[in-house]
Amino acid sequence: MVTVKEETNIVNLRGELSENLEFSHEIFGEKFYNTTIKINRLSDSYDILPITVSERLLEDIKIEEGNLCSILGQLRSYNKNVDNRNRLVLTVFVREIKTIEDENKDPNSIFLDGYICKEPVYRKTPLGREITDLLVAINRPYNKSDYIPSIVWGRNAKFAKGLKVGDRIQMWGRVQSREYEKKGEDGNSIKKIAYEVSISKIKKMSENNNE
C-alpha cells in the first residue's frame, strides 16, 4: 500500500473567483465555505471549478467574486444523494489560498498517486481520437479515499486501457469542467457539468493492490 501523504494528491490553481462565498457545513466548530474559480485554458475557453475553504484560512484575506487567487489543495470526492441516487461530487479542498495581482503560467495542474478501482473504458471519438476513462482511488488519512474520474487521450489512452484494477499509477494533468446534456424524466434536455482530470502524463508503478 502507498503511504498516505498529502503528496499523493496535489492541486495548484490560479484564477478568478466567479462567485461569493457560500456556507457549506461545519465540523467540530470549524465552518467551511464553497465558491468557484474560473481558470482560463490555453485556448479561448475556460474551466469553472468548485472549491471548499475553511474559515480559518480566510482570517487575513478578503475573498469575494472577481478576486484573483492562487490555491494549493487536494481534489476530493464525496457522495451526495440526488433524487434518491448517490452521485459522486468533486471539489478542490483548499490548503492554502492567497490573493494575487495577475494570473501566471501553469494556472491549473494536478498530481495524483493512487489505484485503479474500476476497469478502464476505451473508446474512440467520431473523429477517431482515442480516449480511455479511468476511475482512480486516492488514499488519505483515517481510512478515507477520494475517487477521481480521469480521462486519458491518444497514445496514453492505448497504454491506459491495459491497466488492471488494483494497479498503482501516478498521473499528472489538469482539472477540467465539461458541460453535457442529459434527458430529464419529462424528456427535455438538462445541461449538467462534470468534473474530471485530463491526464497529460501517466506512469504505472510496480505495485498492484490486489496481488
Q: Has residue 2 got a pLDDT over 50?
A: no
- d(CA 195, CA 129) in angstroms, rounded, equals 20
Phi and psi for 173 in degrees, rounded to 5? 180, -145
**Predicted structure pTM score:** 0.88
Q: 61 pLDDT band (50/70/90 cuts)?
A: confident
What would the pLDDT profile of 25-55 be if each residue is shown by its tens digit? 999 999 999 999 999 888 788 999 999 999 9
Find cell 482512480 and name the residue.
136
- The mean pLDDT value for 170-199 works out to 87
Q: Has residue 106 got a pLDDT over 80?
A: no
Half-sphere CA count of 195, side-chain side, radius 13 A? 20
